[in-house]
Chains A and B, each alone.
Chain A
């Protein structure tokens, strides 16, 4: 027994020592916020403020950094300063500040070397490095096309002038231009697909780029107005491989996991439902009536059995009503 205790203690001390050693030697990446949010320094990397505009970040998982050094200028001006980094994008971060009146503001920062490219992407919304086509079925699944594949698409089919309103019957989804790092996405076009295609090798897919379209093509919310009659340039997809790949992506619904033997489970569940909600309450009512008869409904049996009968009746009524209404 003594030996066991000593062994456990020794292991515990070893674990504590190792933990302390690991914690002490772990590199701590400190962020320094310079001036009144003028820039953020992390080691030798400089992050500068970045106007995200209508663009958004593809990674939604963020981590609040605890090692943040804040200048006096910011400390005096804000009651709270929090810095968040993205878990998979290392060239973007954002700072949430709360001023002394309780107003919150979010300021994005981007690595200096990525600034020019991303600022151009946000300003123009043009595809320079590739684009992502959003799934029709889910909002978190994208098909990536690099700029080369896209240029083949746009050049082989030949542009077609059509009215936007002709596309009303087509399924549509958004196309986003992305930067070379893949972290920033901005809406750049709309993709139209013929609904219920019979053959994915011969289906109609058109790309409409938003750049160059006048304001009249968009409604007051900034969305493409499909009722507008004006003509625009559409790019049909005729490149075989890309057509199959994009067609596959657009027509494949996400797999829903089906548990084998669900029919048996469903059948058992139905039997159990009837047993619990019909048979058992009827049995309960019969027992209650028998007890009432045997005790001649003496107090408290009379009241209690009446309550039991009402309860059983409620179960049956509730179950039948649910079945009928659904």
Chain B
């Protein structure tokens, strides 16, 4: 049943999302051409031409990086309509378990968040590729020499090994972050729907801002009070002659902390969300 729920959720969001994604791809092509034009400094070029190119470039970049925001809005709209409006009354009468409904929304939300990130990364690659292509057409190598150098060319085999480990940890942290972000959005909407009947969206936005403020405060305490100290510890270890291998493992161990914290917080939020949907939500 989860498969069927997921299919309808994905379809409902994809209907609009693909348009936004395609727009960013087109914008990245434009940004690539403009970036190559702007980088190629030419004293003979007019100020107006340069200004137009820079404004165009900024607009293209904003357009590209707005995709994750559009994705979040589409996810929120889908969740709100399907759970908390009149349609929600019917949703909860479906012969499926409530956690299947919630899981479907969660998987859909994480899938589209991931797709948005992948699209933005792809857009950046397109910008670089188009920029280099434009350089080649013009017969100059500004762009490729500045930005086209292989990033990992000088890494040793050992660094590659740790690079893979760090990348794997970073991917897991990214997924855990998406899990938490989805749960924050879901929770805000659910709590707003539990608290009020009339101004659900307004209360949800307020709750989201509140959650954001608390999480940023908590993150700052965690970063300045703890993790940053971890970074100092690494520098101290360099000075104290701790082996390079131990240092690399230490970085890998430090990455486990945010990963575990995000997983635990996300799990706690999921439990609360399910409890509210199951026991407290009254759509009548």
Contacts and interface: CB of A to CB of B under 8 A. Distances in A.
Interface of A: 64, 66, 68, 70, 75, 79-83, 98, 100-102, 268-270, 272-273, 276-277, 281, 284, 288, 291, 299-301, 304-305, 307-319, 321-323, 325-326
Interface in B190-238: 221-222, 225-226, 229-230, 233-234, 236-237
Interface of B: 40-44, 47, 97, 99, 102-103, 135, 138-142, 221-222, 225-226, 229-230, 233-234, 236-237, 242, 246-247, 249-250, 253-257, 259-268, 270-271, 274
A96 to B, nearest CB: 9
Given A318-B253, A325-B246, A312 B41 contact: no
A126 to B, nearest CB: 38
B260 A315 contact: yes
Q: Which of B236, B265, B268, B274 has the most CB of A within 10 A?
A: B268
Nearest to A298: B99
Given A315-B260, A321-B256, A79 B140 contact: yes
* Interchain residue pairs A-B with the least CB separation, the first 3: A314-B260, A311-B264, A318-B256
B271 A80 contact: no
A81, A311, A316, A321 pick with most chain B CB within 10 angstroms: A311
29 contacts: A64-B41, A70-B43, A79-B40, A79-B42, A79-B138, A80-B40, A81-B43, A83-B43, A102-B135, A272-B221, A276-B225, A300-B102, A300-B103, A300-B274, A304-B268, A304-B274, A307-B266, A308-B264, A308-B267, A308-B271, A311-B261, A315-B256, A318-B253, A318-B256, A321-B253, A325-B242, A325-B246, A325-B253, A326-B236
A322 B264 contact: no
Given A321-B253, A325-B250, A102 B139 contact: yes
B233 A322 contact: yes
B140 A98 contact: yes
B44 A70 contact: yes
A82 B39 CA distance: 13
Given A81-B43, A277-B226, A300-B274, A325 B249 contact: yes
Contacts of A277: 226, 257
Contact of A314 (B249, B263, B266): B263
Given A309-B264, A325-B253, 5 more contacts: A70-B44, A102-B135, A270-B229, A315-B261, A326-B236
A281 B271 contact: no
Contact of B142 (A102, A304, A307): A102
A310 B43 contact: no
Contact of A326 (B250, B257, B268, B270): B250
B267 to A, nearest CB: 4
B81 to A, nearest CB: 23
Given A326-B233, A326-B236, A315 B271 contact: no
Contacts of B249: 321, 325
Contacts of B221: 272, 276
A79 B265 CA distance: 57
Nearest to A75: B44
Nearest to A69: B43
Contacts of B42: 79-81
Q: Tell me which of A83, A284, A308, A310 has the highest count of chain B C-beta atoms within 10 A of its own C-beta.
A: A308
A319 to B, nearest CB: 6
